[in-house]
Amino acid sequence: MRELFSIDRPIYRTLESFSNLVILNLLWILMCLPIITIFPATIAMFGVIRQWINKEDDRGLTRSFFLLFKQNFRHGLLLGVIILLFGTLVAVNFSLALQLENPLKMIYVVFLSFLSLLYTFTCIYLFPLLVNYKDNWKNLLKNALLLSIIHLPITVICIITLFFGTILIVFIPLTFIIVFSLTAYVIYYLCSKSFDKVKFVHQLP
């Protein structure tokens, strides 16, 4: 019986982790349905993952998620508006640059491509930073960009992770029940490794 229990224990932990990721994934999808709540919901998802990794999950998954969602609602909406406006601005200008027919076209395209890359880099580190450090949005965006450049290999791996997550959704639609939370888990885990190497003043408890 003892031997059987020792065999089943890893299986039980695996099934428990899988079910928690599925539940977190479904909670995130549910709270993203109003569209405007995508950013607060994403912050809440990364916050729960932070608790898992740091072994701080003492309230339960669902309660922790909704508590974090409520706490970060305004902050998440503000950052969401800033990020979406900037991303839309870059996308519109990129589209217009492609339609230009003058010698400056290539310069514009290269510049906007570089700006899009930095935008992507910043977004990679933004949510892991948000759930770890309490700071104003300007410092968060600045630190997210700096960390993404300083730890470029981690940033690239995170982008590859996002890419494969997208591929899974497209070719295996059923994976939507877990792919968002699983991708967020991998990204947070990777990004958190770089936090120990950088000192921040306002680290959350």
* Residue range 38-91, pLDDT digits in tens: 999 999 999 999 999 988 866 789 999 999 999 999 888 988 899 999 999 999
201 located within any domain: no
157 located within any domain: yes
203 located within any domain: no
190 located within any domain: yes
81 located within any domain: yes
* Residue 89, CA atoms < 13 Å, CB-side half-sphere: 8
125 located within any domain: yes
Query: How far apart are alpha carbons 14 and 5 in whole angstroms?
Result: 14
Q: How many domains in the chain?
A: 1
Band (1; pLDDT cuts 50, 70, 90): very low
Domain of 167? 2-195
Per-residue model confidence as pLDDT tens digits over 172-188: 999 999 999 999 999 99
205 located within any domain: no
103 located within any domain: yes
